[in-house]
């Protein structure tokens, strides 16, 4: 412990050495934090890649990379709309 306290006393006595030591320690902390962050991002990317590869691939299922893109509709399907006439049996008059 005597060696560590001597180093700390030297650093406090010479402020430029103390600032240098603090910059070095901050750089080491930032490098370690960046390494952990990159490892987390890699883990997330691998999990997403695994989830994508496990999806059933067919012509009707597509993975959309674009968030704003509307879902795909198979080309062979037809969509039609109709009005249900059974609700207008009263001739449009409400009990007056």
In a domain, 10, yes or no: no
In a domain, 62, yes or no: no
**pTM of this prediction?**
0.44
In a domain, 42, yes or no: yes
H, E, C per residue of 33-91? HHHHHHHHHHHHHHHHHHHHHHCCCCCCCCCCCCCCCCCCCCCCCCCCCCCCHHHHCCC
The count of domains in the chain is: 1
Gap between the Cα atoms of 73 and 62, Å rounded: 10
In a domain, 93, yes or no: no
In a domain, 95, yes or no: no
Per the structure block, which two tokens stand in for 23?
């910059």
Burial of 18: CB neighbours in 10 Å, binned 0-12, 13-18, 19+: middle
Model pLDDT for residues 71-88, shown as the tens digit of each residue: 666 666 566 666 666 655
Model pLDDT for residues 18-68, shown as the tens digit of each residue: 888 889 999 999 999 999 999 999 999 999 988 887 665 545 555 556 566
- Domain of 45 in residue numbering reads as 25-55
């Amino acid at each position: 412990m005597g060696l560590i306290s001597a180093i700390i006393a030297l650093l406090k006595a010479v402020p430029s050495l103390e600032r240098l030591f603090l910059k070095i320690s901050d750089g080491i902390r930032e490098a370690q934090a960046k390494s952990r962050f990159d490892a987390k991002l890699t883990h997330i990317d691998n999990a997403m890649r695994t989830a994508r590869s496990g999806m059933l691939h067919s012509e009707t299922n597509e993975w959309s990379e674009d968030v704003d893109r509307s879902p795909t509709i198979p080309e062979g399907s037809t969509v039609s709309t109709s009005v249900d006439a059974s609700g207008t049996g009263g001739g449009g008059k409400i009990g007056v």
